[in-house]
Amino acid sequence: MLDDKDGLILETVKRAHRIKSSTLYDEELKMYIQTVFDDIDRLGISIKPDDARLVNLCVLKSKGYFGNSSPDVKQLWLTMYNEQLKLVYMDGRRCSDAV
């Protein structure tokens, strides 16, 4: 299971949502970040916590669920999340130890 020990992913997600100093939404955003970690774990993807693709996935997923944007905009973010997750999954299948 991955984790965001230093809160770097959370801080990046907050910046993406234009949240500056408030901690009001931290628990909700952490929940969305955790769902990304769960997706990665469920799919057996090996990715480092400091990988930019992981941060990108967290931003995309949180933008798909957080806030009061129109449903069409949220669906666009979730579609981008799913497409990026597929790419990360496919990249992980090309391991250096593959025959």
Which pTM was predicted?
0.85
What is the pLDDT averaged over residues 29-56? 92
Q: What is the pLDDT of residues 46-78, one digit of tens each?
A: 888 888 999 999 999 999 999 877 899 999 999
CA angle 43, 48, 54 (to 5 degrees): 65
- pLDDT category at 99 given cuts 50, 70, 90 is very low
